[in-house]
Structure 1
């Protein structure tokens, strides 16, 4: 696939008002409300700084969490954090597109940076619509009237069609920011130029995402092996007729993933030699780790893959030329059950193959465990990267390509 979209390099931005959509959605302490990690803000700092250095009047659109969640809050604290990271003032306005926001934008000077309020405070932002319909929302109409360009740097949400992500591209000259540009070129490049053998390590608790990817890469022949971990592995164990204990089966059912057992059965039947499932697991007994073979799993929660499985998977990974990994192997936040995730990341880091780590929890684990510099690419977006690998068309990318000639 040949990607064609504008970037910051395609526009003359001096003294122009530029709307830039970023994803600085950050972990927040539910008790204190304090931001716990500023990784995403640091990622977008390059794009924001470059815009300011080019003399743009930079207006940032971003979100934090979603309605109903404890960390759904204003972006005032994000403005302070961004200011420290950028080493320059970031103005914050408690408004999205109303008079207060538009008046602030009108008073900006070249090089100024303004952060608008959480776009998900606006009800139309969370409505699912076709991209061209998002251009008709109040947010897009009001803000595009006071802006010259739109730069989309929010790769982590590129799989969503929302006003702040796709609407502006229909009414303003638009391009990709540096995070978006790097992610798309790296991921599409890796997918199109797969070196063999290619190994996918799919785990975590988002079973639907992982199985979507698994189906796609097995059907199109781009994967040589799939190593299953996490809840994905438990579903494939059930599909292979292993008895995983009542509590684990109920957990899968409660998560709404029971239907995927049939899908797993079909995939095992068709691609038996390519799908590897654990030979042992680690259960939690009295809050301690207990490794057991899959034919002797007690009715205790499975929190990790077992030590024999870890050895087997590490061998497969170290022989790979291309490695895509998404989702932790177990409850890695608990030191007792971080072994699988830790050792798999260590195997990927020590492999000579080209490695891509999906965003989300596995990316956080890679950074937490000190493997960040050993991976070829750690994606900023779990949902977006997994959608791309699963063969889905990303709405943001499609729109950026459709409007590429608009300058």
Structure 2
């Protein structure tokens, strides 16, 4: 590894600035989903167990450099205390962090108020970063989900203090390295979603790196149309036909097989339990919409997974939010989960709809790794350098 972890740091008696992502959903003054908080527990408990004093640095929503009371991190304190099983004290200002009260010093964990209340954060201002650095002895980045942002708390701090990756960041980086950096082959990528136009860089990078690329969702309709097939009233970017053909040509030149659905599930309306039928991909009725991949398509996908060693998954294969158009996503995800559980497949997945779809399918628990990083996960899949990761590598 070209970056340090907590194992490389002497934490005893040290103040540790820990960049975390606790940008959690809140309703009526309470956190409604603690997933992101639970993910940082190993880092915080490890620092405490080894005699360190964690000060959490985090953002919440988008205050854009101004103090917005409704975006205070205070709402997260009860959930943090429950997860860490210790006391957490919110430090409301940078001046307060520089001059801690006795009550603050007595708390197990300190939480700095929303770092994006300060304009210097998103500007990656060196003077602001220097003030932050003075608050700690060690910098620990445990927020891979913010690693695609070149902000003071994600990049500059790594150059001002001895720096390392937290347990969540470490797990993310190791999983991603296993999936695309130096993967066991063959590698299969499943990419779904509505639009080709939002995933051009992703597709262009993957066809150079994977052995089989499965394209599903509305994106598949664009590729089918680019091949001259009638997709009826389906969601489709007809103006991206030339781009789709270019991606297919690049895949062919790179030796990457693209799997498009051979058969599809069509309906006249997009509604729960709508009347539907299975047709060949070449036989979509002009008044119908393609809403899912068909059983033949699923059989081809599961066959590809049976011979694969590594799987990267981003996006559903159909309109997974409603039955019966979740069938292909569920079947393929459950098959990948079984292979992963049996130790036959390394499976890494990420992206908002992806996590939701895998959870609905009951498959998420058996995937090797599920990233909650969203934008950072996608940019990594696109082959981009993430500033927060690059800063750790240079530390």
Band the TM-score falls in, shorter-chain normalisation = 0.7 to 0.9
Residue 315 of structure 1 pairs with residue 298 of structure 2 = no
- Structure 1 residue ranges without an equivalent (≥5): 128-133
> Is the alpha carbon distance of 1:26 and 1:236 closer, same or farther for their aligned partners in structure 2, counting shifts above 3 Å?
farther
Write the distance in 1 (CA, Å) between the matches of 2:288 and 2:122.
39
Cross-structure match for 1:377: 369
Q: Secondary structure at the match of 1:337?
A: coil
TM-score by length of 1: 0.83
Following superposition, the deviation at residue 106 of structure 1 comes to: 8.1
> Is the alpha carbon distance of 1:6 and 1:196 closer, same or farther for their aligned partners in structure 2, counting shifts above 3 Å?
closer
Confirm or deny: 8 A CA contact 2:17 2:135 kept in the other structure. Answer: no
Cross-structure match for 1:267: 247
Write the distance in 2 (CA, Å) between the matches of 1:28 and 1:16.
32
Cross-structure match for 1:159: 148
Aligned residue pairs: how many? 378
1:8-65 CA-partner distances (Å, limit 9, x unpaired): 1222222222110011222344xx4543321111111110111122222211111233
Cross-structure match for 2:75: 77
> Is the alpha carbon distance of 1:243 and 1:11 closer, same or farther for their aligned partners in structure 2, counting shifts above 3 Å?
same
Cross-structure match for 2:132: 143
Write the distance in 1 (CA, Å) between the matches of 2:101 and 2:380.
35
Confirm or deny: 8 A CA contact 2:177 2:183 kept in the other structure. Answer: no
Q: Which residues of 2 match residues 318-329 of structure 1 at below 5 A?
A: 318-329=306-317
Following superposition, the deviation at residue 113 of structure 1 comes to: 0.6
> Is the alpha carbon distance of 1:333 and 1:112 closer, same or farther for their aligned partners in structure 2, counting shifts above 3 Å?
same
> Is the alpha carbon distance of 1:18 and 1:286 closer, same or farther for their aligned partners in structure 2, counting shifts above 3 Å?
closer
Select 2:350's aligned residue among 341, 345, 358: 358
> Is the alpha carbon distance of 1:28 and 1:327 closer, same or farther for their aligned partners in structure 2, counting shifts above 3 Å?
farther
Residue 120 of structure 1 pairs with residue 116 of structure 2 = yes
Following superposition, the deviation at residue 154 of structure 1 comes to: 0.5
Cross-structure match for 1:339: 327
TM-score by length of 2: 0.85
Q: Which residues of 2 match residues 1-400 of structure 1 at below 5 A?
A: 3-29=1-27, 32=28, 34-67=30-63, 73-95=71-93, 97=94, 99-104=95-100, 108-109=104-105, 112-127=108-123, 134-138=124-128, 140-205=129-194, 207=196, 210-219=199-208, 222-246=209-233, 248-249=235-236, 252=237, 258=239, 260-271=240-251, 274-279=257-262, 280-283=264-267, 285=269, 287=271, 288-289=273-274, 290-293=276-279, 294=281, 295-299=283-287, 302-351=290-339, 352-400=344-392
Write the distance in 2 (CA, Å) between the matches of 1:241 and 1:66.
44
1:119-159 CA-partner distances (Å, limit 9, x unpaired): 233344345xxxxxx25152x23222222111001012222
> Is the alpha carbon distance of 1:172 and 1:25 closer, same or farther for their aligned partners in structure 2, counting shifts above 3 Å?
same
Q: Secondary structure at the match of 1:325?
A: strand
- Structure 2 residue ranges without an equivalent (≥5): 65-69
Q: Secondary structure at the match of 2:32?
A: coil
Provide the alpha-carbon RMSD of the alignment: 2.8
Write the distance in 1 (CA, Å) between the matches of 2:26 and 2:241.
35
